[in-house]
A and B are shown apart, each in its own frame.
Chain A
């Protein structure tokens, strides 16, 4: 980062279960509307954390706070703290570009650049000032996401010619090529078929030992299958003001959430009984 020195991402990620990201009383507002309120959560290193909850509960808003993507929305205001290995990400002088290198993101819809497969990965490396033999880095990243064998003969062909599942794996390769510490995934499989989804989920487990992964998903079974920890958010509705505000209801081991949740609101949501 420009003004804040942190440990090397790879070094800091070796202790599974250590806190890598932490929010404290985090409140995010868009204009006068509060999207999430007073969220305090510890994201653990080398673990997969799922964020689940109904539409409008602020799952994606919370996720985007972890790498300052909300900065791109002019009306967004962040209160409380978000720390990365103890460093406040919202401190003046912190370079958001460096934050996003260390805390990468994969989006709902695969969004490869309209360039070659090779260039999709090499471009990001160059943007972050990485030079030298990029071919090796491209190959390593593609192998890491189990895409190399499928594309090694076509590296100069357009990434847009790949299937949806391949495109999403390419986007994950693009994210990990710059050696981040954390990967944020916002509904990464919602546009994919079940086979492509299974490959991504399998890949997440493969990557888990080296990266901390936070995934937002509407698919509760996906959260159950892939994550170690699950956070359940719900939306509190203010009828008078016509607003919905996301609050963190429960955060626990995934098997606890899906077999014996501690909060009746979690139980109601995951079993489909409301009210």
Chain B
């Protein structure tokens, strides 16, 4: 193949690789946050919070690269779609990093408080799924794998279910003020994990747009009537 815009396409490729590295960093941060939470480890919480600087640095550099490519290269067709997708994915990954930081901060606030093993187990399960979802979304992006992208909402279902049941679990400890305080913080953690899953689904939507050229939101609990090819 002859590529008369080799310099541009090489820069586009490097920018995408940069975003993939950012995805790994955001996933790693989330993983650290969940380990810190489960292990009740304040030191690991601090390390997780500090790791956000790395994700933010990726975010800022990617944003600048994308801006430059828009300004200087007038992208069109699949190049244009890739750049807009990179712009979206960049923001979603930055938010995933923030979710991890929020989890670490909440976990640090409750170190030493009594905890419910059931709630911890649920959160650990939810966190594991969210991490796998971010990984799957970025993998679908890397391989332009439409079927994998379409599978994300299904992966999200257990997170939504566990999140909805979180309040009942927390209220079981309502008689113990310290356990209740811990539970309320964990309810907030649950919400952060649920949001992380949503960001992964949003990334998958971008992958579908990149592959098909048509943007549509995947169906979710709030819009169950919107179906998705392949999973109806």
Contact = CB atoms under 8 A, between A and B. Distances in A.
Interface of A: 220-221, 224, 258-261, 266-267, 270-275
B1 A273 contact: yes
Nearest to A267: B77
Contacts of B80: 258-259
A259 B5 contact: no
A274 B4 contact: yes
Nearest to A224: B76
Contact of B77 (A221, A261, A274): A261
A4 B79 CA distance: 49
Nearest to A260: B213
Classify chain B's interface size. 10 to 19
Q: Which 9 A-B pairs have the closest CB atoms?
A: A260-B213, A272-B5, A272-B4, A275-B1, A274-B2, A258-B76, A275-B2, A270-B76, A273-B3
Nearest to A256: B213
Interface of B: 1-5, 8-9, 74, 76-81, 213-214
B4 A220 contact: no
A249 to B, nearest CB: 13
Contact of A273 (B9, B81, B214): B9
Given A259-B81, A260-B214, A271 B76 contact: yes
A272 B3 contact: yes
B223 to A, nearest CB: 24
A40 to B, nearest CB: 24
Contacts of A273: 1-5, 9
Nearest to A269: B77
24 contacts: A220-B76, A221-B74, A258-B76, A258-B80, A259-B80, A259-B81, A259-B213, A260-B213, A260-B214, A261-B77, A270-B76, A271-B76, A271-B78, A272-B3, A272-B4, A272-B5, A272-B8, A272-B9, A273-B1, A273-B2, A273-B3, A273-B4, A273-B5, A275-B1
Nearest to B5: A272
Nearest to B6: A272
A224 B76 CA distance: 9
Contacts of B74: 221
A274 B1 contact: yes
Contacts of A261: 77
A260 B5 contact: no
A224 B2 CA distance: 24
Contacts of A271: 5, 76-79
Given A259-B77, A271-B76, 17 more contacts: A220-B76, A221-B74, A258-B76, A258-B77, A259-B80, A259-B81, A259-B213, A270-B76, A270-B77, A271-B78, A272-B4, A272-B5, A273-B3, A273-B5, A273-B9, A274-B4, A275-B2
